Amino acid sequence: MHPNPAKKQWSSVPQFPRAAYRVDVPWAMLPKYIAEEERNLGLRVEPDYQRGRVWTAAQKRAWVEHCLMGGETAKEVTLVCEHFAGVPSGRYAVADGLQRLTTAIGFVQGYVRVFPDDARPEGYALGDFDGKLSFIRHMLAFVTVVAPTRADELLLYLRINAGGTPHGPAELDRVRGLLRAEVAAGGAVTLGGPWVEFLGREAA
């Protein structure tokens, strides 16, 4: 069957890199897991293009409560690395899910409080609950994708975060500036094909 030149071709739609690795980590193990990834593999939790820890206390509480009540969505963290051969190597960073990751760690460490009521208007920390946090029910999924160059990494970050409402125009423009500087310095986008169109749009 020959393609219809009058129609948009599916082959023109850029495809995100497939996950090289995926692992589910219980909340209770997050501080240790992240510390080991930082120490042993050079993970950058807050690379220069990230917007920092911007969730308010109310947003943190709402997300933790959503998860504790059995919510199944918004429980993923995307990592990018330069190479992957069994373990990540080269550039290795959190590309998406920083707020979820740091909020879950904050709850485990007792800094995020939930379910305020008349008896405890400030809410309850993890240590105020009777019993331990379930290892099985409360996890974050870490998905690692390969971005061979820094330009790839920046472009993926922009495409992940440009939709919806998580990032404002000023935040995205700052990362576009980083991408323009990277390309101007000779950084290449190696993701191929239709990604070049998005590079032109984001780096314009």
Whats the size of the chain, residue-wise? 204
Which pair of structure tokens corresponds to residue 157? 């970050």
In this prediction, what percent of the chain has a pLDDT beyond 70?
89
110 touches 127 (CB < 8 A): yes
Task: Indicate the pTM of the whole model.
Answer: 0.79
Residue 91 has pLDDT above 80, yes or no: yes
Predicted confidence (pLDDT) per residue in 171-195, tens digit: 778 878 888 888 788 877 776 655 5
Residue 198 has pLDDT above 60, yes or no: no
- What's the confidence (pLDDT) of residue 200? 59
* Between residues 189 and 32, the one the model is more confident about: 32
Q: What is the DSSP letter of 76?
A: E
Predicted confidence (pLDDT) per residue in 146-174, tens digit: 999 998 899 888 888 765 445 567 777 88
Backbone angles phi, psi at 187, to 5 degrees: -65, 140
Rounded CA separation 64/189 (Å): 37
Rounded CA separation 3/24 (Å): 41
Residue 14 has pLDDT above 80, yes or no: no
Domain extent listing, the chain: 1-16+150-204, 18-146
Q: Where are the alpha helices (DSSP H) in 53-116?
A: 57-68, 98-108
In this prediction, what percent of the chain has a pLDDT beyond 90?
51
CB neighbours of 77 closer than 8 A, spacing ≥ 6? 94, 96, 97, 98, 100, 101, 140, 141, 142, 143
Rounded CA separation 152/147 (Å): 5
